[in-house]
Amino acid sequence: MPRRHDPGRRQRIIDAAIRVVGEKGLAGLTHRTVAAEADVPLGSTTYHFATLDELMVAALRQSNESFAKVTAAHGGLTDPDTDLAAELAALLGEWLSGERAGVELEYELYLAALRRPALRPVAAEWADDLAERLAHRTDPVTVRALIALLDGICLQVLLTGTSYDEAYAREVLSRVIPAGP
């Protein structure tokens, strides 16, 4: 049987992996479940992703892109005349107001890096990207503190099921940012 040219197959496999994790969690992610979800032969998943770690890296990288798009849209992060705490609080609110399942999925993949070293560099990409955007606004220690605080607020919202409180986020973020000259 001749090989069928299917240039979108790799992307469909990644999308299917994201759906599988969203529906069944990481424990439900196998080459077989992804192949079934993507409606491709099992060999296609292993051809494009020899290991599940490779597939998770691709899924996490794609998930990171959603946060990167929201971050890139916030031009105030780079504008020294804007209120940085307000910009970061608004950024977090925008991201959390999106599809909650997508945010939960991103965190599930992000936290999988605790047990899967192959995911660690990709898990750090969102923080590194944000740190780079904030580098000219404040010192490196404050940048890392802000990122840790944003991460903690996200986890609290996701784990408790409470609504995001932008005013609270703005207040605590402003307490971390040093006062201007």
Query: Per-residue pLDDT tens for 15-42?
Result: 999 889 888 888 899 999 999 999 999 9
Higher pLDDT, 59 or 99: 59
How far apart are the C-alpha atoms of 85 and 66, rounded to whole Å?
Answer: 21
Contact 96/157 with Cβ under 8 angstroms?
yes
Position 1 scores a pLDDT of: 45
Mean pLDDT of the chain: 88
For residue range 82-93, list pLDDT tens digits in order: 999 999 999 999
Confidence at 2, pLDDT banded by 50, 70, 90:
very low
Higher per-residue pLDDT: 157 or 104: 157
**Cβ-contact 70, 96 below 8 angstroms:** no
Percent of the chain with pLDDT over 90: 51
Delimiting residues of CATH 1.10.10.60 domain(s) in the chain:
7-50
**Is the CATH number 1.10.357.10 carried by domain 63-176?**
yes
Take residue 74 and report the two structure tokens written for it: 């916030």
DSSP state of 124: T
Distances in Å between the Cα of 60 and the Cα atoms of 74, 86, 143, 153, 161 are: 22, 28, 23, 20, 23
- The region that residue 120 occupies, defined by phi over 0 for left and psi between -120 and 50 for alpha, beta otherwise, is alpha
Q: What is the mean pLDDT of residues 91-120?
A: 84
Query: What confidence score (pLDDT) does residue 4 get?
Result: 65
The least confident of 4-8, 77-81, 127-131, 166-170 is 4-8
For the domain made up of 7-50, give the CATH fold. Answer: Arc Repressor Mutant, subunit A (1.10.10)
Q: Average pLDDT in the 107-132 region?
A: 87
